Amino acid sequence: MIRPRPPLSDRVAVVGIGETRYTRHGGSERSEFDLCCEAVLRAAEDAGIEPTEIDGFCSFANERQEPVVLQQALGMPELSFSNIVWGAGGGGASGAVMNAALALHAGLCNYVVVYRSICQGQFERFGHYRVRPWGSQWMAPYGLMSPAQMVALTFRRYLHEQDATADHLAEVAMVCREHAQRNPRAVYYGRPLTLEQYQASRLIADPFRAADCCLETDGACALILTTRDRARDLRTQPVRVLAAAQASGPGWGQGPMGSHNMPLEDYASVNSRLLASKLFTMADLTPQDIDVAQIYDAFTGIVTMALEDFGLCPRGTAPAFIAAGGLRWPDGALPTNTSGGLLSESYLQGLNLVIEGVRQMRGESTAQVTGAHTCLVTSGGANAHKSALILAAEGA
């Protein structure tokens, strides 16, 4: 008789996190590879292991630093597993953590690094128009030249369906900026955002203003996972991966970043309802059991729709929940993006949100939620490739 293995939460934990200094695009004089190595070394130091003990790498979103090259640079004697989430952009961040957890669950590795390095100052800027492999050249004649314009269509439909205004978006932007004022790692640390400044920021794609759009940054970050048995002997408090999932609804293709052929009932969403169902079933939790959230915030409107897709707010109520201060630390009902998020900390295509989730579960965040035991992390905006995690404090 084959006995099923225990769930991920009983076997896998995050034990190390590492980040470089984050700068605006063009702010780093070091190579992207150098930054990547620094992030991995910092994560190993945080975990209390030698880099030579690492034997697996997972990444996503066309990461340029290949595992075999990192293996040589870090002096690793063996590389037992390497993996990248296909395409996905920011939708692959939690998926890369899931792949690392699966490798450990299968007994393939001892320590797996999940990493992302981006130097938009040395390569392309994601917010600029470029011909993309999934056919952006066919959208350009219709004025869809940037991600902001593409996502604005789905959010504008959401506002129409819910008979809502975009006024609450200012609160999303200001909350993330306020949380960043407590986080010295944030690019916008020391630069608060007032309502007047938000309203004065230029319009990019109605209703998104410049302050509604995420940062374009240089930097790298990494985290290390291992088995919970091994984690007990390390220096840091392990953080359980309670659930990890990937899912996409029917007809999305490349979603608003491409086809716009999604079913009408899913169009005004972030394509996460199926994902949320899988995730909470795996964790044996409900959305009401979540203490703190790190929601992918490439654009403020994504946060609104994600709150409803993941069941954190009933359909049509997220604007009022946000406007009432529901995302704020420390008194909001669901403190969200407590490091500043992609809007105000850094844009590492969402992996820095996972790292902030780990900090919250360790009790080490600069905007620590008192008594937080569970953290939802979502990856990806209004696109086809989506993934998410639920992290839990050890002992929770």
308 vs 277: CA distance, rounded Å: 12
Q: What is the pLDDT of residue 3?
A: 42
Residue 139 token pair: 């959208």
291 vs 360: CA distance, rounded Å: 10
Q: What is the pLDDT of residue 249?
A: 85
Give the mean pLDDT of the chain: 92
More confident residue, 298 or 137: 298
Q: What is the pLDDT of residue 363?
A: 97
Q: What is the pLDDT of residue 22?
A: 97
CATH topology of domain 8-124+219-231: Peroxisomal Thiolase; Chain A, domain 1 (3.40.47)
One of 22, 111, 189, 347 is an active-site residue; which one? 347
Q: What is the pLDDT of residue 381?
A: 86
296: annotated active-site residue: yes
| Range 304-320 average pLDDT | 98
One of 22, 111, 158, 296 is an active-site residue; which one? 296
**Band of residue 4 on the pLDDT scale cut at 50, 70, 90:** very low
Helix (H) or strand (E) holding 113: strand 112-119
Q: Where in the chain is the domain with CATH 3.40.47.10?
A: 8-124+219-231, 144-214+239-393
Tell whether the model's pLDDT for residue 132 goes beyond 90.
no
Tell whether the model's pLDDT for residue 254 goes beyond 70.
no
Distance of CA 134 to the CA centre of its chain: 22
Neighbouring C-beta atoms of residue 62, cutoff 10 Å: 14
313 phi and psi, to 5 degrees? -135, 140
227 vs 244: CA distance, rounded Å: 15
Model pTM?
A: 0.94
CATH topology of domain 144-214+239-393: Peroxisomal Thiolase; Chain A, domain 1 (3.40.47)
| Range 198-222 average pLDDT | 97
More confident residue, 282 or 250: 282
Q: Which of 67-71, 80-84, 198-202, 255-259 has the lowest mean pLDDT?
A: 255-259
